Amino acid sequence: MSKKSRSKLWFLVHSWLALPIWFFVLIVCVTGTLAVVSKEIMWLAYPEMRATAPSEDARRLSFEEIKDHLAQKHPEAIIAALYQPDGDYFALNATISLPGGRTSMAYVNPYSGEIQGFAPSFDFRRFTRALHGWWLIPATNGHSWGWYLVSFLGLPLLGSLVTGLVVYKRFWKGFFNPVLRLRHGARIFWGDLHRLSGIWSIWFIATISITGTWFLVQALLEDNQVSISSYSPATLVMAHNSVPLTADGEPPPMISLDRAVAIAREKIPSLDTSNIIMPSNTYGTLQVGGRSWYPLIPQLVDIHPYTGEIAASRLLSDRTGVELLTESMRPLHTGDFGGFWIKAIWAFFGLVLSLMVLSGLLIWTKRTALATAAALKREAREERKSRPVNTVENIL
């Protein structure tokens, strides 16, 4: 075999060995698409997750009304938190501590206050996100190597975007003159689909690849105990003398949740309250959180549960430029920041990205298979040429 043929054969072996990597990329893209709308899929399957109104003119209950209703119907349960998922069609989520020390999340109808069911400890949403994010590989000391494996794909994905734009000359013409030939064979069809999908997904591929690469950087920082955040999520503890006492030495009733929401909105006028975390003990704070005009990052206000004074807050203005950028990465990657239609857009382009990877995989596989067959034929021809000819002279 000549040196050129040998180099070509090794290149083909290298190409075939890359086949599992492309399948891995495809599976990550498909599972990521499912993870974006996993909660909506569960909503279709489980009626207890739905916020079904009893009548057309029914009014949604406030957080305080829901708390009172749960306390009346389930006095044995201790409410730890109330959370409204991103979408009015979802039931309210209530984290409840039950007798025996068991904590569970209940689906609460926001119109009636009734508990419609309890969430399993590991549901379809958690499964798809774990499968997509770290391939269900458990973490032992820091992030699992599955997390590193998946997040590393952000680099070749970003590289594929850049090289694809370089190879595809004047790619912007595809916006105004899209080409998808259906009657010219599979090779032409998949090639057109690959280019067309790539053109219309430029912004999405850039978003997913950059945010995915950030998850790799974030894991490296956290596993090496390096922090770029100025916020400590430790639970605030109020001074003992700041808690007023009644005549019998007990703390007074906690302020209503509606008042706490009003106090938080005075601090953040555009706050869309989505969660309330109850004090974990007598000296804990009442935390109110939600999104505001910048939907990518939530804001928090810690309130004195007996006096209504603001003990602490975590606002957009408290964050540095680096924090604003890095904290925006996760919602940009998951599409979980603007309700159903944002998720639908992310899921659609996730499907487009999956089809683009699949079409590239098919094109690459067919091209590599043809090149391999041609290389083997070339090798056979060279081997026949190198054999000695059995002439009379050679025999004598």
- The total number of structural domains in the chain stands at 2
355 with 252, same domain: the answer is no
80: in domain: no
> Does the pLDDT of residue 216 top 80, yes or no?
yes
298 with 347, same domain: the answer is no
- What local confidence, expressed as pLDDT, does residue 4 receive? 55
> Does the pLDDT of residue 38 top 80, yes or no?
yes
Q: Is 113 left (phi over 0), alpha (psi -120 to 50) or beta?
A: left
Residue 309, C-beta contacts closer than 8 angstroms, at least 6 positions apart: 303
Work out the pLDDT band at 237, boundaries 50, 70, 90. Answer: confident
354: in domain: yes
> Does residue 32 or residue 385 have the better pLDDT?
32
211 with 254, same domain: the answer is no
87: in domain: no
- What local confidence, expressed as pLDDT, does residue 395 receive? 47
183 with 142, same domain: the answer is yes
Asked if residues 262 and 269 have their Cβ atoms less than 8 Å apart, the reply is no
34 with 150, same domain: the answer is yes
165 with 297, same domain: the answer is no
Asked if residues 327 and 297 have their Cβ atoms less than 8 Å apart, the reply is yes
Q: Which domain holds residue 154?
A: 3-48+124-227+341-379
Please give the mean pLDDT across all residues of the chain: 87
- What local confidence, expressed as pLDDT, does residue 224 receive? 94
Average pLDDT over residues 227-238: 75
25 with 135, same domain: the answer is yes
Asked if residues 293 and 300 have their Cβ atoms less than 8 Å apart, the reply is no
Q: Which pLDDT tens digit goes with each residue over 132-165?
A: 999 999 988 899 999 999 999 999 889 888 888 8
Q: Tokens at residue 79, please?
A: 């409410």
Work out the pLDDT band at 379, boundaries 50, 70, 90. Answer: low
For residues 126 and 132, give the distance between their C-alpha atoms in angstroms, rounded to a whole number: 10
Asked if residues 157 and 206 have their Cβ atoms less than 8 Å apart, the reply is no
82: in domain: no
For residues 91 and 110, give the distance between their C-alpha atoms in angstroms, rounded to a whole number: 6
Task: Kindly report the pTM of this predicted structure.
Answer: 0.85
Give the CA dihedral 119, 120, 123, 125, nearest 10 degrees. Answer: 30
Asked if residues 12 and 351 have their Cβ atoms less than 8 Å apart, the reply is no
| DSSP string across 307-376 | T--EEEEE-GGGS-HHHHHHHTHHHHHHTTTS-HHHHHHHHHHHHHHHHHHHHHHHHHHHHHHHHHHHHH
- What local confidence, expressed as pLDDT, does residue 191 receive? 81
Rg (CA), the chain: 29
CATH code: domain of residue 289: 3.10.450
137 with 186, same domain: the answer is yes
